[in-house]
Structure 1
Amino acid sequence: MGKVSGVFLLVGLCLGAILAMVLIPRSRPGPAAVAAAADTVITLEAEPEQAESPPPLSSAVPGSPPRSVDTKALPGLVPGGQVSVVVYDRTAKKTTVSVKADRSYTSASLVKLLIALEALQAGAPASTVQRMLSASDDDIASRLWTAHGGPAIVTRWATKIGLGGTRPPEDPGRWGDTRITAADVAKIYRYLLDQAGPGTRTTIMRALSGATESGSDGVRQYFGIPDAVGSLRWSIKQGWACCRGSRILHSSGTVGEDDRHIVVVLTSQPVSTTYPGAGRRVSEVVKALRPAIDGL
């Protein structure tokens, strides 16, 4: 009987183990699983459920229509001054924002875009042109302006590109007094990106994407587009001048992959406004344009 009982006991243990394997659902041991010795009971904690990955952060509610730019609010962001805006979507091939696009402003350093086009066409060193643009170097601009025809530069390129509101300065020596409009500045970028030769385009866009934080005169030039678009790619040509009746601050360039959006913000602000204060106002205008730039 002792041997028979031992056999039954062994069979019973085997059947119990088989039933446990069938009835207990399989699961991988969690981090707190305890592996005991072979002659003790092994206790396994159930694996904790994986938390679902949070959805990507976005200010837009899924299924809701995209936000639009409140163009009526833009003038209020530049109290006591004037503001003009153009946003052009190169993928959609259309202007998505336009506010006072034909209003005339003093160009300040934005005319350097035309000086660069002329100088490169005439064979000026690419490194010289890039320095003029990236650091907004006035001395280089003055040398190139004088060497390549002065006011005639503006006249030639206005005719070539079709800039209806762009005029050379009344004083031939003051290139920064060239008159421009936001619509015309957007056209300059469209010409540069879609029609200019590849060498010219590469030279100029490399300079604009590598713009230094401060210009050669020490003024911080990351107001507007750089301060407002976060991690989006940008290339810029900024302009600032004071104080013949107003303080001029302009931010222009491209934003997004493949230079998708052309963004132009021109402002004329009270002389009593400091450069940092005026720059913050331009940045607020660009922030208000974000729905047209990235759909936020």
Structure 2
Amino acid sequence: MPSLRTARPRWSLLAPLAAFVMLLASTGPASAASAAGRPAPGSGSRTVVDIPPDVTAGVAVFDRLTGRFTESFQADLAFRSASVVKLLLALDHLWTRDPVHDLPQADRDRIGAMLSSSDDAAASHYWAAGGGSAVISRMVARLGLTGTAPPPSGYPGFWGYTATTAADTVRVYRYLLDEAPAPVRDFVMGALHRSTRCATDGFDQGFGLPSAFDGPVAVKQGWSGFSSGGCGVTARSRGSSPDEAAADLSAPADESPGPGPKPAAGGAGEPPPGRASAPALDLTSDALHTTGTVGPDDRTIIAVLTLHPDGTPYGRAYNKVTALVAALNAPGADRPAGIRFTTWGSGVRVRSGASTASTALTILPAGVDVLVDCQERGERVSVPPYVNDWWAHLPQYDGWITNIYVTSPDNTLPGVPGCS
């Protein structure tokens, strides 16, 4: 029997998250926030944000209790919306309909899936039913949006290429929470509060807000160009083995092959082959957006829109976006306790107990950061040449992973207490 030894490859280093945001405070009156719901000079928002390397970002954070923006960085920079546009598709359809009395059950189910699980087929349905780009033109006029526009010329059917900004996204949430009829507010926000980790298409939606905060969180994510590698306990990884973690050991997570071909042209907003990108909107870089609310009574609205170099591994983008969000000034947010570490390998299983015989609760995307609150000895796991009997508890999954797949210089994780 081999002796216990360092439980991960030489390239793995301890990687707790660093705060990516620097504070430059101002103290203007709350009234400086404009009626359109965007930051204004003197609104109390931070104006300098340290964005992770190679990331383009637009950030806006609005505290509904004080009427102030607590964060603002390139809030009026236009991004392709990806699935964030589904908020506008839902609101357009509900503009003259009471979801309690006027909405057939089929529409309630379809809109619910579009918002909670980012269902693309539902989005395509409402895009077509609403007249395509006319949906965006109507909602721009209704909500007073200034940075939102239909897809570029040549892409009329690609709803994911709708242009939007962080400031306009905040405005959409402010309308939902403070101006929309109560049945519409409750229906839409209820669906966002029930956001699922796995989207209908199998994409892992755990980045950003869901990973950075606990407590009441409403979420609408968006992505374009990424593959998360599947989501849920049925996902299979490259070169998987039948035992614990089914991990791909051929390369460290940050050197794994790229996310593969982009989805085919269609509802998700990817361009048909051979078409040039519109010059005013970056349609090439991979997009990863996290938006929603945190805190009791949806106190704080957060919109973080990001672009990453084409081919960026999902785990790397996941970690950068989550770190950026975790460092934001978000009043009322419940921040989880623990220390973040980076995993390696793909298809790592989170289990109900500290053994490979325990039920697999979910599978982690390759190379993502996880929050660890304690560790304890359990089943000895061998992934030659590595052997370890320590397991890490992940409070956000209420489950365990073997320390073999958590980056650390030793079998135990530094700074993490025992569980008993």
What band does the TM-score fall into relative to the shorter chain?
0.7 to 0.9
CA distance in 2 between partners of 1:105 and 1:294 (Å): 26
For the Cα contact (< 8 Å) 2:195–2:218, is it kept in 1?
A: yes
Matched, 1:239 2:278: no
Query: Highest Rg: 1 or 2?
Result: 1
CA distance in 2 between partners of 1:251 and 1:189 (Å): 13
Which moves more between the two structures, 215-224 or 250-259?
215-224
| SS in structure 2 of the partner of residue 213 of structure 1 | coil
Question: Where does residue 285 of structure 1 map in the other structure?
Answer: 324
Give CA-to-partner distance per residue, 1:89-130, whole Å, 9 cap, x none: 000011111001000100000000000001223545222211
2:86 is matched with which residue: 93, 97, 112? 112
Which moves more between the two structures, 275-284 or 208-217?
275-284
Matched, 1:195 2:179: yes
Matched, 1:145 2:145: no
Matched, 1:74 2:74: no
Which moves more between the two structures, 234-243 or 272-281?
272-281
Q: How does 1:37-52 map to 2 (within 5 A)?
A: none
CA distance in 1 between partners of 2:93 and 2:292 (Å): 20
Q: What is the letter of the counterpart of residue 132 of structure 2?
A: G
| SS in structure 1 of the partner of residue 207 of structure 2 | coil
| SS in structure 2 of the partner of residue 193 of structure 1 | helix
CA distance in 1 between partners of 2:333 and 2:192 (Å): 20
Cα distance, 1:286 vs structure 2: 0.6
Quick one: structure 1 residues 249 and 114, their matched pair in 2 at CA, closer, same or farther if it must change by over 3 Å? same
2:147 is matched with which residue: 154, 157, 165? 165
For the Cα contact (< 8 Å) 2:70–2:330, is it kept in 1?
A: no
Gaps of 5+ in 2: 1-22, 26-44, 98-102, 226-261, 263-282, 336-420
| SS in structure 1 of the partner of residue 66 of structure 2 | coil
CA distance in 1 between partners of 2:330 and 2:95 (Å): 37
Quick one: structure 1 residues 233 and 191, their matched pair in 2 at CA, closer, same or farther if it must change by over 3 Å? same
CA distance in 1 between partners of 2:46 and 2:158 (Å): 36
CA distance in 1 between partners of 2:148 and 2:220 (Å): 17
Q: What is the letter of the counterpart of residue 280 of structure 1?
A: N
1:126 is matched with which residue: 104, 108, 111? 108
Q: What is the letter of the counterpart of residue 212 of structure 2?
A: A
For the Cα contact (< 8 Å) 2:300–2:330, is it kept in 1?
A: no
Give CA-to-partner distance per residue, 1:143-172, whole Å, 9 cap, x none: 111011111111111111110000001222
Quick one: structure 1 residues 201 and 294, their matched pair in 2 at CA, closer, same or farther if it must change by over 3 Å? closer
1:101 is matched with which residue: 75, 86, 97? 75
2:203 is matched with which residue: 204, 219, 226? 219
1:260 is matched with which residue: 293, 299, 305? 299
Q: What is the letter of the counterpart of residue 232 of structure 1?
A: G
Gaps of 5+ in 1: 1-65
Question: Where does residue 183 of structure 1 map in the other structure?
Answer: 167
Q: What is the letter of the counterpart of residue 84 of structure 2?
A: L
Aligned length: 228
For the Cα contact (< 8 Å) 2:290–2:305, is it kept in 1?
A: yes
| SS in structure 2 of the partner of residue 167 of structure 1 | coil
Question: Where does residue 276 of structure 1 map in the other structure?
Answer: 315
Matched, 1:210 2:194: yes
Q: What is the letter of the counterpart of residue 50 of structure 2?
A: L
Matched, 1:92 2:131: no
Q: RMSD of the alignment, in Å? A: 2.1
Which has the larger share of strand?
2
Which moves more between the two structures, 173-182 or 284-293?
284-293
Q: How does 1:60-71 map to 2 (within 5 A)?
A: none
For the Cα contact (< 8 Å) 1:119–1:129, is it kept in 2?
A: no
Runs of 4+ aligned structure 1 residues displaced above 4 Å come to 66-71, 290-296
Q: What is the letter of the counterpart of residue 241 of structure 1?
A: S
For normalisation by structure 1, the TM-score amounts to 0.72
Cα distance, 1:293 vs structure 2: 5.2
For the Cα contact (< 8 Å) 2:294–2:333, is it kept in 1?
A: no
Cα distance, 1:84 vs structure 2: 1.2
Which has the larger share of helix?
1
CA distance in 1 between partners of 2:298 and 2:316 (Å): 28
